[in-house]
Amino acid sequence: MKVLHLLSNFKWTGPAEPALTLAAEMRALGVEVEFACGRPPRGARCDVAMRARERGVEPVERFRLSKHFRFLGNVADALALRDFIAERGVTVVHAHQQNDHLVGGAAARRAGRVGVVRTVYDGEPLPRGPRNRLLFQRLTDAAFVVSARVRQDLADSLNFPPGRLFPAETPVDPARFDPARALPDVRARLGLAPHEFLAGIVARVQRHRRWDRILKALHVLKRRGAPLRFLVIGRGTHEQEILTVPAHDLGLSTMLLHPGYLTGDDYVAALRALDLKLFLVPGSDGTCRAAREAMTLGVPVFAARRGMLPEMIADGVTGRLLARDEAGDLVDALLWALDHRDCLRDMGAAARQTALERYNPARVARAVLAVYERLAPAT
């Protein structure tokens, strides 16, 4: 068996990390794996290729694999992929996004007995247009779906056979997100005492991410004298307009801490420093990876009922699900957390146990391999 993973992007965003992690874990299981990612514009760096090499996976960069549909580029990729599949003896093509699904599926069908697998990372049902109908009715032999709601919708709306739909989890590295390992002391760096309550969020600073409601809630908490600090991990093109200036105008400069975009151990350490993580709006990664990472670190997640968050968070067990994401609901949730720190610690322990069971990379890879093996006789 030889598997070709396709990721139509060169940026480290969306499903890039779970796709690469799965490919690396498949290799660890002894499967022959190739990993192809998008080719960046001239002068730009391919972040996915760089991360792949860091994990010992030499990426294939000969295809365009653009994130968005490009007719001429797609045709060229489909023809080149068909030849690559034949040359390398690929038996399964595993697509991770819509456009690589299209070109990879077309190439696999032209190459002959090659299975086509797709992982759907969306937390909301897919559009029911002609492209997705083509993909799932003509160019897919099996699909992994991270959301039960989306899995049901694929069967109902796109008429994909339920017997070829498989539940999936996106892997999180349990060693990297181990709360017991040595990490930078973020609290000391930020000037926080060990006992100070720290809530936080990981999100791009964009208008649709509910920043106005977060700031309004923090303003109410400040007026009530709530002993809370709030950490924002993320950046955005309009962050001065959306976050920095409004926070200053509301007098939140001391309560709100904004170190910006963090990577590596600094990011992990910042997550570990939280008493709870807030998650309101899923971004480009419908799997809500930051929530999974927080859970793996033993941090409870307080989440809105959006996307697949209700499927991830056991209300009252591994975190809390908010009735709404209005400022008043955020105030009530954070005040409750301040008064129930023992409950938060119990939730954090339960969150970590859940994450270690569900998001373990080796477990995820074995489940995927079992589906590959079911496809093998037909390829």
Kindly state whether residues 126 and 114 are assigned to the same domain: yes
Whether 53 is in a domain gets the answer yes
Residue 134 has pLDDT above 90, yes or no: yes
Percentage, residues of the chain above pLDDT 70: 99
Q: pLDDT, tens digit, for every residue of 15-62?
A: 999 999 999 999 999 999 999 999 999 888 999 999 999 999 999 999
Cβ-contact 46, 52 below 8 angstroms:
no
Going by pLDDT thresholds of 50, 70 and 90, the confidence category of residue 376 is low
7 phi and psi angles, rounded to 5 deg = -135, 110
pLDDT for the residue numbered 13 = 85
Same domain, 220 and 261: yes
Q: Check whether residue 157 and residue 192 sit in a common domain.
A: no
Q: Would residue 193 be called left, alpha or beta, if left means φ above 0 and alpha means ψ between -120 and 50 degrees?
A: beta
**Closest to 201 measured CA to CA, from 162, 138, 141, 243:** 243
- Write down the pTM of the prediction: 0.89
User: Is pLDDT of 336 > 70?
Assistant: yes
Burial label, 178 (beta-carbon count in 10 A; 0-12, 13-18, 19+): middle
Q: Is 179 contained in some domain? A: no
pLDDT digits (tens, 9 = 90+) for 262-280: 989 999 999 999 999 999 9
Kindly list the distances between the CA atom of residue 257 and the CA atoms of 130, 217, 244, 278, in Å, as whole numbers in the listed order.
46, 15, 10, 14
Query: Could you tell me if 44 and 130 lie in one domain?
Result: yes
Domain count, the chain: 2
Same domain membership, residue 374 and residue 288:
no
Do 284 and 144 share a domain, yes or no?
A: no
Residues 223 and 283 in one domain: yes
Domain boundaries, position 366: 2-171+360-378
Residue type, 27: R
**Are residues 41 and 105 located together in one domain of the fold?**
yes
- Residues 366, 354 share a domain: no
| pLDDT higher than 90, residue 197 | yes
User: What CATH number does residue 232 fall under?
Assistant: 3.40.50.2000
In terms of domains, do 152 and 225 share one?
no
User: Is the predicted pLDDT of residue 323 greater than 90, yes or no?
Assistant: no
Mean pLDDT of the chain: 93
Half-sphere exposure of 108 (CA within 13 A, CB side): 29
Is residue 180 in some structural domain? no
pLDDT for 379 equals 45
Cβ atoms of 115 and 377 closer than 8 Å: no
